[in-house]
Structure 1
Amino acid sequence: MARFVLVHGGWHGGWCFRWLAEELENRGHHVASPDLPCEEVGLTPLDYAREVGPQPDAIVVGHSLGGFTIPHIEAGARVYLAALPPLERGEIKDCFVEGFGGAVRDIRDRSYWPDADTAAARMYPDCSRPQSDWAFAQLRRQARLDPIPAPFGPRDVVIATLQDAAVDPDWQIRTARTHGARVIELDSGHSPFLTQPDELANILSSLD
């Protein structure tokens, strides 16, 4: 059995992996889902990685903005789930679906979602309303985080989410293939750990 470390994306916390963690544990795997200090201004992906610590025996899964963090974590393997890989900013400038959102900012320049309706429509459109409301109630503010380019390629796995309303699915696949990463396609939105935890757990288990 494998050990998984699940690294969340912007605004979220380890809580978002609740049902995925249960599915993985039911399959006999060990799971950790740490909280990153996303509300703290002035940090870098290296600071986030230090919060997680080295995980040389684990499959480290980074969701969305978590893709900036996982290449800086010592890992047995890395999986990019609907994620932004650690590339130059010019390569990721067109990654988001037009009209995605998350651009409202507070006086400390941290982005946030202003209300549950907006989050449901733009970030969680494939979730049930109870699912999106549950998630929205736990969202935090996200300080700016700039990528630090790092190796990304044949040793990495990309799970591309084909109905994603946040990170463009075609961009996910094209970027992964350009860099030689292995691509696994999942017919889901941006948050399959909420909508398809069983299917996602099956995919991750197959990587063991």
Structure 2
Amino acid sequence: MSEVLLVHGSCHGAWCWRDVIPALAALGHEARAIDLPGHGADTTPLAEVTLDAYADAILAALDRPAILVGHSMAGFAITAAAEKAPEKIAHLVYLCAYAPRSGVSLVEMRREAPRQPLLDALEKSADGQSFTVRPEAAAGVFYQDCPEEAVAFAVPRLCPQAIAPQAMPITLTDRSTSLPKSYIRCTEDGTIPYEYQVTMTEGWPEGSVEDMPTGHSPFFADPEGLAARLARIAERGR
């Protein structure tokens, strides 16, 4: 049995993993999800949300080495956690996520992508500290291949996303880069273009990258299939 900690992406919370956790449990793995600061049930003020705070929240949730799964922007969060305490992490899994480069922020990486499908769906707050996803646009960018029930569950739960952690460049060392890692690319992604996911994983070790035929939210579109992929990654790491 492996311990798996599931970390959500922008505007989401632990709630988005509701279907994956029991699917992983059915395969014999202990899975948990957390709310990053300022997300879900966590009440950290947006002005206090930083990439460092994300990393600390992840590490506080770990009491033994675990597989970290980071969705979308959480690619930065799990990597930042690995830089702080690699001994707490058995494997890094990037799920249609930003795979950080040293000295570059997530905002900069987003701008590098050949397309910006999310841009028109966003609204920036008046104080410039956060953005939200317009509810009428959320299904098209996040949930286009998800069951209607899941979309109805998810959209009202989307929260403002602090910009500060996404604008902070990250410095990578062998503390994170030496850890085992995997990437699950989503071929129908309506948020992070698939072709940019291909670019981010160029040169990764053979067998560490695989494609999943879903949009940006495989945790709703195919939770059993995602759980099976994560279970295989866990088995390979033993």
Asked if TM exceeds 0.5, the reply is yes
With over 3 angstroms needed to count, the CA separation of the structure-2 counterparts of 1:187 and 1:167, relative to structure 1, is same
Residue 175 (1) aligns with residue 166 (2): no
Aligned match of 2:181: 156
Q: Which one is further off, 172-181 or 29-38?
A: 172-181
Aligned match of 2:113: 95
1:38 Cα shift? 3.4
Determine which of 176, 187, 206 is the counterpart of 2:213.
Answer: 187
Q: Which one is further off, 57-66 or 39-48?
A: 39-48
Determine which of 59, 70, 75 is the counterpart of 1:67.
Answer: 75
Q: Check the 8 A contact 2:9/2:71 in 1, yes or no.
A: yes
- SS of the counterpart of 1:194? helix
With over 3 angstroms needed to count, the CA separation of the structure-2 counterparts of 1:161 and 1:31, relative to structure 1, is same
Give the distance between the partners of 2:110 and 2:12, measured in 1 at CA: 21
Give the distance between the partners of 1:36 and 1:80, measured in 2 at CA: 16
Aligned match of 2:37: 37
The amino acid across from 2:74 in the alignment is: G
1:96 Cα shift? 7.1
With over 3 angstroms needed to count, the CA separation of the structure-2 counterparts of 1:175 and 1:139, relative to structure 1, is same
- SS of the counterpart of 1:160? strand
Q: TM-score, normalised by structure 2?
A: 0.79
Q: TM-score, normalised by structure 1?
A: 0.90
Determine which of 52, 73, 92 is the counterpart of 1:78.
Answer: 92
Q: Check the 8 A contact 2:141/2:190 in 1, yes or no.
A: yes
1:64-120 superposed Cα distances (whole Å, 9 cap, x missing partner): 0101100122311100001012221455422374332342011232110222x2111
Give the distance between the partners of 1:92 and 1:118, measured in 2 at CA: 19
Write the mapping of 1:99-110 to structure 2, written as runs, cut at 5 A. 99-101=117-119, 102-109=121-128, 110=130
1:128 Cα shift? 2.8
1:189 Cα shift? 0.6
Aligned residues: CA RMSD: 2.1
Q: Check the 8 A contact 1:60/1:70 in 2, yes or no.
A: yes
Count of aligned pairs: 207
Give the distance between the partners of 1:196 and 1:96, measured in 2 at CA: 26
Give the distance between the partners of 2:51 and 2:111, measured in 1 at CA: 18
Residue 58 (1) aligns with residue 66 (2): yes
